[in-house]
Structure 1
Amino acid sequence: MRLDRRRLLGTGLAALAAPAARAATPSPPTSRPVRTLELAIAADAPSTPTGLAIARGGRIFVMMPRFTGAEPITLGEVLPDGSVKPYPDAATNRPDPGAPQASLFHVPNGVFDRDDTLWVLDAGLPEGKGRPVPGGPKILAIDIARNSVRRTVPLDAGVVADSSLNDLRVDMRDGRALAYVTDQGQSGAGAILAVDLDSGRVVRRLADHASTRSEEGLVKFVERRPVMERKGDAPEKSPKGGANGIALSPDGGRLYYAPLMSRRLYAVDTAALRDPDVPDAAVAAAVRDLGEKGMTGGLTTDSQDRVYLSLQEHNAVGRRLPDGTVEVLAADDRLVWADTFWITPDRWLYISAAQVNRRPEFNRGRDLQQPPYAILRMRIDADPVL
């Protein structure tokens, strides 16, 4: 899966072939040495690849939200040479308001279940913002052996006018067919959707709760610069982002989550989330504030119930232990806007470098993204949660 170093040098990818040189000043002593990451592949995606999912056989898929509507595709497969092709095909990647269930609008993320079915989240957004297209918000189950959509689960019942669905987890075991979706909101007022994939029932929970809402007064720093919306002559402002990354405990009984603009990690029992007979106030009362964890995007968990943290301000991978300890596992200058994790059965932890901070909206209209986009990895000592 790794690219040959000579190919990297020959195609101008030397910047991704090895981490930037470190200063000679010795690092202070730590209880665990901080590692660098290994380049798995450089994805020559046509636009910002925030999402990542890897099949058991090694096929890599990336999700590229349509932030402006000009993006040519929103779901792609990364080929061995790093090129990205529309998936499952170009026709499905053409948004069609007249056939919203059969086309893809704005895909931020996707995951595999234990049977290697690819579940894809479509926020249904036109041009990355505005009211979701009726019928557009959905979860699709894709058979990657046949490269075809097997079924579609509408999410309209769980979205509101300013929804911006962001992350997805599925729980397919012991007769369960469940999904959990974060809605970060376009104004920072988030929520969590609990979906029964068999019946199609969607329950919207924790709407505008403190744990799903963008925190005010925060500034995120990536690549030693504040990430601020910069549009023309308008004053700079910090972006908003409600409920964003999520992860399931190994038994599926607990959902970890965090707003994009927040330094805190939260957890809630999934049984309460998905039971429509549990009052919203009872669900809110069951939320646990697990403390500070840094500024993150994506989250994931391993079989030991450790939560992995995409430490965006530090180009780093962190991990929260069940006792609340947070440790830094690896740091790498190539990990620009650490975003989505994936753990493979052979215990590789993959993470995407999405370069969101280099997008035009944060740089007064200048696109500073530098394709290809690094997908990095490191060995860990635990299995994935599936």
Structure 2
Amino acid sequence: MTIRLARRTLLTGTAAATFAPAMAVRSGLAQPATGSFGALDLVVAARAPTTPTGLTLSPEGRMFLFMPRFDEKTVFTASEVFPDGRVEPYPSEAANRPDPARPAETLFHVPNGVFDRTNRLWLLDAGLMASSGEPVPGAAKLVCIDPATNVIVRTIPLQSVVTKTSSLNDLRVDVRPGREAAYITDQGQTGEGALIAVDLASGRAVRRLAGHASTRSVDGILKIVEGRVLLKREADGTASPIKGGANGIALSPDGARLYYTPLMSRRLYAVETAALLDADKDDAAVAATVVDLGEKGLTGGLIADSRDRIYLSLQEFNGIGRRDPDGRIEVLATDPRLIWPDTFWITGDGWLYLSSAQANRRPEHNGGIDRQEPPFAIFRMRIDAGPA
């Protein structure tokens, strides 16, 4: 595997000017653009109330952010972002009030959402009331919204495929002739991850590769973000390692392969989607289709483009990488303002968007002190491809 380095500058415009002074000073540390690809642009400084891990855009350009309900600061978990940085509950404030008595009708903990090819918005609800604990019975689900009316049109329960320690994390939806499917990662609260495949036509969901080496958190991984080892740090000074199983996922352009990786792993894997969806195959048969694609660095979110290249959120480097189909990896951008790059989205006109979630600054990593600095940056980069 060869690695090519090409740093990019973040543009400073009206959006950049809305950042706090400390953030503006950091922007001067960005490296100059040196390669043939476009620069990374700051699109909007989103005034989200807390950690925005998920991001998607409609074909018309509407932007949506998702904030898992890690704690009581998460006053709403699904939102729409406006060009002036406003972040408002979506589809409504009422829908974002979690109600254990109405678990299928209210949103609890949404780490991500995506649009499908028919312009429907799908939300993944992990059903959690905090960063840990058992999912609320009946609250784990997929929620489909019609953006034209902002109305929930369908809910698919996931209660049958979650465990007491589940932490559903990322989502891809594949709608094409002959197939309507969703793929979900469960990173697990103890690092024992899994994949979930959903037949959207029938609503049937299956849990796959639970405890498999490719979905499990790797012990002994050292992750350094913003110059500091990432650990769980308690207010009393005690610390413990981070555990994170299956986390980021991406879908190949033909829908035949699902790419995925644990949060605490440097390896990238692929599995055949047909095997994931086939109810007649057991886990051993699914595991036989898993391929270890090798080292790719420590990442969060992944996404594939129409040329089957996989974009990597390089959290240790405040950067974006890309893996070519032949295994070569290129670093496309680095910038200190890109703090915990997380979820990607590719638009039909060739823009790669991503969120800067600042998750490493959350209280659980800093002795109970919240070091996040709103607003939260959303960036984009021009690429020479469309969505997968």
Q: Same fold (TM over 0.5)?
A: yes
Structure 1 position 232, deviation (Å):
2.5
Structure 1 position 129, deviation (Å):
1.8
1:315 aligns with 2:318: yes
Which residue of 39, 43, 64 maps to 1:40?
43
Structure 2: distance between partners of 1:11 and 1:316: 19
Structure 1: distance between partners of 2:115 and 2:59: 9
Which residue of 22, 27, 33 maps to 1:19?
27
Which residue of 203, 216, 219 maps to 2:219?
216
Which residue of 137, 154, 159 maps to 1:151?
154
User: Could you list the runs of 5+ residues in structure 1 that have no partner in the other structure?
Assistant: none
Structure 1 counterpart of 2:64: 61
Structure 1: distance between partners of 2:135 and 2:169: 13
Which residue of 114, 128, 140 maps to 1:125?
128
Q: Secondary structure at the match of 2:130?
A: helix
Structure 1: distance between partners of 2:67 and 2:89: 11
Q: Deviations over 1:74-130 (max 9, x none)?
A: 000001210100000000000000110100000000000112111000000122321
Which residue of 12, 17, 26 maps to 1:9?
17
Amino acid at match of 2:305: D
Structure 1 position 71, deviation (Å):
1.3
Which residue of 250, 271, 275 maps to 1:272?
275
1:135 aligns with 2:135: no
Which residue of 333, 336, 340 maps to 2:339?
336
Structure 1 residues 35 and 221: alpha-carbon distance in aligned structure 2, compared to 1, 3 A threshold: farther
Amino acid at match of 1:288: V
User: Could you list the runs of 5+ residues in structure 2 that have no partner in the other structure?
Assistant: 1-9
Which structure ranks higher in relative contact order (CA pairs < 8 Å, sequence separation ≥ 6)?
Answer: 2
RMSD across aligned positions (CA): 2.1
Structure 1: distance between partners of 2:350 and 2:11: 20
Structure 1 residues 273 and 3: alpha-carbon distance in aligned structure 2, compared to 1, 3 A threshold: same
Identity in percent: 60
Structure 1 counterpart of 2:85: 82
Moved over 2 A (4+): 2-23, 32-36, 232-235
Contact 1:3-1:81 at 8 Å conserved across structures: no
Structure 2: distance between partners of 1:17 and 1:345: 34
Contact 2:18-2:45 at 8 Å conserved across structures: no
Amino acid at match of 2:29: A
Structure 1 position 327, deviation (Å):
0.9
Structure 2: distance between partners of 1:299 and 1:375: 16
1:372 aligns with 2:375: yes
Contact 1:341-1:349 at 8 Å conserved across structures: yes
Structure 2: distance between partners of 1:195 and 1:39: 35
Aligned length: 379
